[in-house]
């Protein structure tokens, strides 16, 4: 069997390092020994496949999971999943989770003094369609304090988990909102030096997907790693 | 057209909200071919403290060494009952667990065979991107010639090999940092 084409290594300063002391939790959890460069074998270029049997058609609507309406501003979050060559990534599983409109997570660890919304759990999932499109209906999450440093606040964000066609495309990231004044103070948003890479974590307001008299639209495209054009000799 | 991959961000402390619905700790449903094995382990940080907020994901071939993925060119005869994917969220003691089958050997670089292994992906608060490592099986003579294990300094290879804990039970612990640090890959 021919060696599979490996996935492209990250472009300089566009992916975080493990140790980033401004984000205090990295200090005791980042590896300290040298990493071993992994060749991309069949084990790395394959990935699990998920289908419509794995999720419910309503899993993409976070506003309809309880008898009542959640509090807050309804939003549509949609976009496309592409690879670095601009090709759509179809039929992959996206999972999201987020705080409610008051900035509180439905989680025992979250002790922030803000109300739980009994009508909002804050989790959803969808599969991308044949052109890589995805769409969620949710509530705009609130900002919230955390204990990383004095008076630390997280900008509003939605957590995204994506599978790809290959395991090396697996990505967990966060989507932010345009114009959020907390972004520049946030050690997660600023964990990479490349300004353009940071900017790509921020969604844009989108009139086209805004639903009249119902919900504002935010658009966010996600890019997964692409592959080298030709199978290369494996790296050593 | 050349785009740049989206920047990874931490999974954060509230991962259960989004990921718990698909916790898959038992991959070996009745009817799946292969030798059953239970794998248990804990994750500890640089101070030896258990990590109670991690997601551990495994990816593996079936007992014939085939992946249930269209990217495996040999996938036509794959064992349909076996997806090969597992997800365990660590408990308060930092423990994760899987019940699965031992995979067959899979092709590696230059046509060399790889010893049976799981690819392990770990997410947690305090990691801005995932850790990628591998679990190999103890007492398997094929480990000696495995092309990926061969890239790991000999003194550290043992961190990737699970320990036998009785019949069909394996223990494999993850040390994030320090003297017995697990080998992690630059992926």
So where are chain A's domains?
Answer: 24-224
Other CB atoms within 10 A of residue B157 CB:
16
Mean pLDDT of chain B: 95
DSSP tag of B77: G
Other CB atoms within 10 A of residue A87 CB:
13
Q: How many CB pairs under 8 A join A and B?
A: 244
Taking CB atoms and an 8 Å cutoff, what residues of chain A touch B7?
14-16, 173, 191-192, 197-198, 200-201
- Nearest CA to B75 out of B66, B63, B83, B88 is that of B66
CB contact under 8 A, A43 and B5: no
pLDDT of residue B78: 55
Going by their DSSP bridges, the two strands A74-83 and A222-224 should be labelled as parallel
Kindly name the residue from A40, A80, A140, A157 that is annotated as catalytic: A157
Going by their DSSP bridges, the two strands A216-219 and A74-83 should be labelled as parallel
Going by their DSSP bridges, the two strands A222-224 and B163-164 should be labelled as unpaired
- The minimum CA-CA distance between A70 and chain B, rounded to whole Å, is 16
Place of tokens 């060399």: B112
B182 and B159 Cβ atoms separated by less than 8 Å: yes
Average pLDDT over residues B5-10: 98
A133 tagged catalytic: no
Other CB atoms within 10 A of residue A15 CB:
20
Q: Which segments in chain A show pLDDT lower than 70?
A: 230-236
CATH fold for the domain made of A24-224: Protocatechuate 3,4-Dioxygenase, subunit A (2.60.130)
Residue A59's SS3 state is helix
CA B102 to chain centre: 12
Average pLDDT over residues B144-162: 98
List, in order, residues 6 or more apart from A113 with CB less than 8 Å away: none
CB burial readout A29-41, b (16+ within 10 A) else e: bbbebeebebbbb
CB contact under 8 A, A173 and B7: yes
Phi, psi of A185 (to 5 degrees): -95, -5
pLDDT of residue A235: 47
A154 tagged catalytic: yes
pLDDT band per the 50, 70, 90 thresholds, residue B79: low
A29 and B45 Cβ atoms separated by less than 8 Å: yes
End-to-end CA distance of chain A: 20
ipTM > 0.90 for the complex:
yes
Residue B80 has pLDDT above 80, yes or no: no
Residue B26's SS3 state is strand
Q: What is the pLDDT of residues B10-67, one digit of tens each?
A: 999 999 999 999 999 999 999 999 999 999 999 999 999 999 999 999 999 999 999 9
Using CB atoms, pick whichever of B3, B45, B123 lies closest to residue A86: B3
CB contact under 8 A, A48 and B83: yes
Going by their DSSP bridges, the two strands B163-164 and B169-171 should be labelled as antiparallel
pLDDT of residue B76: 61
Distance CA B36, CA B101 (A): 4
CA B65 to chain centre: 15
Kindly name the residue from A7, A104, A105, A134 that is annotated as catalytic: A105
pLDDT of residue A69: 97
A225 tagged catalytic: no
Distance CA A61, CA B48 (A): 41
Q: Is the pTM of this model over 0.90?
A: yes
Distance CA A97, CA A107 (A): 11
């Amino acid at each position: 069997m021919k060696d599979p084409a490996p996935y492209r290594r990250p472009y300089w300063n566009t992916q975080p390092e493990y140790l980033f002391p401004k984000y205090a939790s990295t200090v005791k959890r980042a590896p300290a020994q040298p990493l071993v460069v992994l060749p991309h074998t069949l084990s790395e270029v394959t990935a699990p496949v998920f289908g419509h049997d794995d999720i419910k058609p309503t899993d993409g609507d976070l506003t309809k999971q309880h008898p009542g309406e959640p509090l807050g501003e309804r939003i549509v979050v949609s976009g496309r999943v592409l690879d670095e060559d601009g090709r759509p990534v179809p039929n992959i599983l996206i999972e999201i989770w987020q705080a409610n409109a008051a900035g509180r997570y439905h989680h025992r660890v979250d002790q922030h003094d803000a109300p739980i919304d009994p009508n909002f759990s804050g989790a959803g999932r969808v599969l991308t369609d044949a052109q890589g499109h995805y769409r969620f209906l949710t509530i705009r999450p609130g900002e919230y304090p955390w204990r990383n440093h004095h008076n630390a606040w997280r900008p509003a964000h939605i957590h995204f988990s994506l599978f790809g066609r290959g395991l090396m495309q697996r990505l967990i990231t966060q989507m932010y909102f345009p114009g959020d004044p907390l972004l520049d103070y946030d050690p997660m948003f600023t964990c990479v030096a490349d300004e353009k890479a940071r900017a790509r974590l921020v969604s844009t307001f989108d009139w086209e997907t805004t639903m009249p008299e119902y919900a504002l639209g935010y658009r966010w495209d996600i890019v997964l790693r692409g592959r080298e054009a030709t199978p290369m000799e494996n790296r050593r | 057209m050349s785009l740049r991959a989206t920047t990874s961000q931490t999974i954060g402390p509230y991962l259960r909200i989004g990921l718990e619905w698909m916790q898959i700790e038992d991959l070996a449903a009745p009817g799946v071919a292969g030798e059953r094995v239970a794998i248990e382990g804990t994750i500890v940080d640089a101070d030896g403290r258990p990590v109670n907020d991690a997601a551990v994901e495994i990816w593996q071939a079936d007992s014939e060494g085939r992946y249930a993925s269209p990217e495996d060119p040999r996938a036509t005869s794959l064992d349909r009952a076996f997806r090969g994917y597992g997800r365990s969220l660590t408990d308060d003691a930092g423990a994760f667990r899987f019940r699965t089958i031992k995979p067959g050997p899979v092709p590696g670089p230059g046509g060399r065979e790889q010893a049976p292994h799981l690819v392990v992906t770990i997410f947690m608060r305090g990691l801005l991107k995932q850790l990628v490592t591998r679990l190999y099986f103890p007492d398997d003579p094929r480990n000696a010639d495995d092309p990926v294990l061969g890239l790991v300094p000999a003194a550290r290879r043992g961190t990737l090999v699970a320990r036998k804990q009785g019949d069909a039970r394996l223990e494999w612990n993850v040390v994030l940092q320090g003297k017995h640090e697990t080998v992690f890959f630059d992926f």
